[in-house]
A and B are shown apart, each in its own frame.
Chain A
Amino acid sequence: MSRLTHLVRLGLAAVVGLSLAACSNGTPGGTSSTAGSEDVTITYTNFISAGANEANLTKIVDAFEAANPGITVDVKTLPYADYFTALQTDIAGGTVADVFDIEYANYKAYQANGVLAAIKGVDTSVYQANLAQAYATDGTQYALPSSFSNVVLYYNKDLFDAAGVAYPAADWTWADEKAAAEKLTNQEAGQWGDYQPISYNEYYKVVAQAGGKYLNAGGTDTAFNTPQGIAAAKWLVEKSGTVMPTAEQGAGTADFDSKLFADGKLAMWHTGIWMFGSLADVPFAWDIAVEPGDTTKASAMFSNAMAISATSKHAEAAQKWVEYMTSSDVMVDTRLAAGWELPPISDEAKLGAYLKAGAPANRQAVFDALDKVALSPSIGDNQAQMQDLVTEQLTEAAAGRVSVEEAVAAAATKVDPLLK
């Protein structure tokens, strides 16, 4: 590294510093000084529109502003990868927006630290009950769900047809998936039967599928160092190198799995419904099914939510915007038309258009998967550390450097102190 790099860094620091200063000047915004008028500008920092849906968000903002004269929404969009770093920095620096996005996994940390304002007087019956409850603590709502998505089993129909294997069905178990994956793997041809990430995000769910528990009832200790927890880890780890590519072959690197599936080299793929859009133009037939379970079904569900900053000076206007963005018909229609993540509303009649929106044909599976849901434990400040520790141990087991039993035991030992 050179002095030049240092110069560049110093320059960068200055630029960042200046732009932060600019932000802090801009944030108070608010009640414009024109006497008598009640014009309010609220700021909204989001990641949910980043990448593909900025224009769709603008459409909803425009409709909201038309319906609420006097309220202007000033939107700032950040990519997901940088979003939470920026949010933490904004909160620490006192420059956080009036309204911002959060997700279920970190809701508890923000709520417990007093960052979120209580949202009062909301009719939560318009939301799916389990989603609204996820963002309530001690009977008080601290955020409103803005969307949800879940993970299903994608499959390449052409590869199943060529191998003469029956398509995945709703009553499939792990054993059925394994048998099919083995028949569909042809390593010489670079064709793989199955792909499921070996990480925390899969693990807590497959523990539930095996009939186990990730945490004990009080959430004070891990409960996965059990036969079920070990079976769950084996289910993930033993795919690697047999029916699924290993880390050395590229598994786990960005876009590796989506490329493999889009290239027609992958028969079954465990991933989220947010990938529908990227498969619009693939030259083969594909569909989805609810993920197979072991002793029971359990599907991962992720949800995003919108919260109001505890320091916001425009909480009332902010709440109007949050309710509009999470439950209005304009939002529902915009999301469904765009194939954006699903609206969190309880009125399934309004979701009818989604079921007929094209490939995959079996969109009903998205809703069927909600019958048995496994939610990620949300443990507060130590969340990221817990997730990293579990992923690390599973990765070590997949690489063959430790046994599955050792990995599960080590993960439990290391995670337990984080729960105290």
Chain B
Amino acid sequence: MSVGLSSASMSPVAGSLDRTKGSCSAGAARRGRRASRVKYALIIILFLAPSAIPLVYFTVYPMFSALWVSFHKWNLLSDMTWVGVGNYIDLIHDPLTQRAFLNSVLYIVGYFPLVYVGGLGLAIALNSAVPFRNFLRGVYFLPVVTSWIVVALVWRWLLNPSGGVANYLLSLVGVQGPGWWTDPHWALPSIILASAWKDLGFVMVILLAGLQSIPQDLYEAARVDGAGWWARLRHITFPMLTPSTFFVTVISLINGFQVFDQVYAMTGGGPAGASTVVVERVYDLTFRYSQAGTASALSWMLFLLVLLVTVVQMIGQRKWVNYA
């Protein structure tokens, strides 16, 4: 490469040093700085382009098209008509949409503790010297890379109200199993169960990496001081694991609000809307009910909510995440 990557102008620190020199040839220096800055920007653009172009074309551009559509009434077939914020107002008053938001929140409330505690347990177990450790890690990660449609069909079968494995096992201990996905009270828990099972491996891998980056001498020192298993977990593992925990929390919440595949494949939002979630409602509004404008407005409401929740988490993390 002929571009002078080695030049000190690459670093802003060097740039500020330059400025302090205050030499008489300030004009020439400024011109030189500008030229190298342009070069620098071009290089950055070159490296970013392979990911930035698809991102802009397939994500950013559709997002803002959707924002435009969200201010219109549009059935996908004829021309759009401007309705201003009418779609947003309709959605706020729509009981099914309220239900969808509530269900999305309930999903997260049920799903996150399950997947975190389960993932942490697995990570701790598979971080110790158990036999076939690597094999087991692979096995637990397998559901993560399996298609949701396959997983949903398997869980539909496991939780089949009549003749399903889950209810058969429950009957062995004298419990009459519920109707699972045919019962409005159990439809969402069924989905939560399947989701937690599928994502367990992902949480495990993140937390496992976090566990392995904890220096062993901390544990040794604690042992010397007479700390037991629980004290070590409480005072070393948890605090040292907070960056991984934070990452898992942010990702799980974002994914939780975007949950769709499993709902669509397991219950289709039923029975009678008992397990409908926001993204599923977006899909229905667009492709089943010909209300693309309303659906776009709902997408943007969801986006803003996820953004808000994530920003709050980002600010809140200063109080509890330990990057020591």
- Bound complex: CA A82 to CA B94 (Å): 28
Tell me if A381 and B290 are in contact (CB < 8 A): yes
Contacting A396 at CB < 8 Å: which of B179, B272, B288? B272
Which chain B residue has the least Cβ–Cβ distance from A93?
Answer: B76
- Bound complex: CA A381 to CA B144 (Å): 39
Smallest beta-carbon distance A327→chain B, Å? 28
Binary per-residue interface labels of chain A (1-28) against chain B in the complex, 1 for a CB within 8 Å, 0 otherwise: 1111000001001100100000000000
Which chain B residue has the least Cβ–Cβ distance from A92?
Answer: B76
**B77 within 8 Å of A (CB atoms):** yes
Tell me if A17 and B199 are in contact (CB < 8 A): no
**B202 within 8 Å of A (CB atoms):** yes
**A385 within 8 Å of B (CB atoms):** yes
Which residues of A sit under 8 angstroms from B75, Cβ to Cβ? Answer: 109, 113, 381
Contacting B287 at CB < 8 Å: which of A3, A88, A109? A88
- Bound complex: CA A91 to CA B79 (Å): 11
Which residues of A sit under 8 angstroms from B251, Cβ to Cβ? Answer: 3
Which residues of A sit under 8 angstroms from B272, Cβ to Cβ? Answer: 392, 395-396, 401
**B182 within 8 Å of A (CB atoms):** yes
**B210 within 8 Å of A (CB atoms):** no
Contacting A250 at CB < 8 Å: which of B77, B162, B202, B287? B162
Smallest beta-carbon distance B303→chain A, Å? 15
**Interface SS, A side:** helix
Tell me if B145 and A384 are in contact (CB < 8 A): no
**B58 within 8 Å of A (CB atoms):** yes
Known contacts: A88-B76, A88-B77. The answer to whether A248 contacts B162 by CB under 8 A is: yes
Smallest beta-carbon distance B64→chain A, Å? 16
Binary per-residue interface labels of chain A (382-420) against chain B in the complex, 1 for a CB within 8 Å, 0 otherwise: 101100100010011001010000000000000000000
- Bound complex: CA A249 to CA B259 (Å): 28
**A115 within 8 Å of B (CB atoms):** yes
In the assembled complex, 23 residue pairs joining A and B whose CB atoms fall closer than 8 Å, in A order, are A1-B198, A1-B255, A1-B258, A2-B199, A4-B144, A13-B59, A88-B287, A89-B76, A92-B76, A92-B77, A113-B75, A248-B162, A249-B162, A381-B289, A381-B290, A384-B288, A384-B290, A385-B288, A392-B272, A392-B273, A395-B271, A399-B182, A399-B271
Given known contacts A1-B198, A13-B59, A385-B288, what 16 new A-B pairs fall within 8 Å (CB)? A1-B258, A2-B202, A14-B54, A88-B77, A88-B290, A91-B77, A109-B75, A114-B78, A115-B77, A250-B162, A381-B289, A384-B290, A392-B273, A395-B270, A401-B184, A401-B272
